[in-house]
Amino acid sequence: MASPAHKDTIEEVKELFKSYLKEHGHRQTPERFMVLEETYKSDGHFDADAMYFRMKNTGSRVSRATVYNTLDLLVECGLVQRHQFGKNQSYYERAYGYRQHDHIICRQCGAVVEFCDPRILEIQTLMNRIHKFKIESHSLQFYGECENPETCTRKSELKTGSA
């Protein structure tokens, strides 16, 4: 069950998405709003296929193409961010009302850890000033391997061959 604040956020993003669709001549379909809602109910990062199967398993009649196309529209209008963590697969996360953060990605198991460090904003501000360049966004990703086996269960599954 979504908290009242979470419900407020979903209503806000629905209104923003409605405006975007109208301004750009796209149809406002129930399926597109189902994908939007599912996105804002999700925590962390997800891929389009995982979202499609999750929605299908809960009885939604949304097509895989609609999930992919709607995620593209949500990225275009700034409500969702798309990431590629060193693979050919895109991962998504909600963007509206979500604090700026960066990522640490395990090359072995694919675990993604989010972190926020105010020094990065200080560097961005300094680069703005030094280079007289208006930076609108950034992406910082560190790659390595998990050292703590409890960070991600898939790492131990890879070693035992149970995956």
Identify the CATH number of the domain in which residue 155 sits: 3.30.1490.190
Same domain, 118 and 138: yes
Which tokens belong to 52?
């499609």
- Cα gap 122→110, rounded to integer Å: 29
Among the candidates 98, 114, 130, a domain finishes at 98
**Per-residue pLDDT tens listing for the chain (163 residues):** 444 446 778 899 999 999 999 999 999 999 999 999 999 988 778 889 999 999 999 999 999 999 999 999 999 998 998 887 767 778 888 888 767 778 787 877 777 777 788 888 889 889 999 999 988 777 788 888 888 766 555 444 434 343 3
Residues 11, 78: one domain?
A: yes
Instruction: Clarify whether residues 62 and 113 are in a common domain.
Output: no
Q: Please, what is the Cα angle at 137 between 81 and 89, to 5 degrees?
A: 35
| Residue ending a domain, choose from 81, 98, 115 | 98
Domains contained in the chain, number: 2
CATH of the domain at 70: 1.10.10.10
> Are 70 and 110 contained in the same domain?
no
User: Domain containing 65: what range?
Assistant: 1-98
Say if residue 107 is in the same domain as residue 70: no
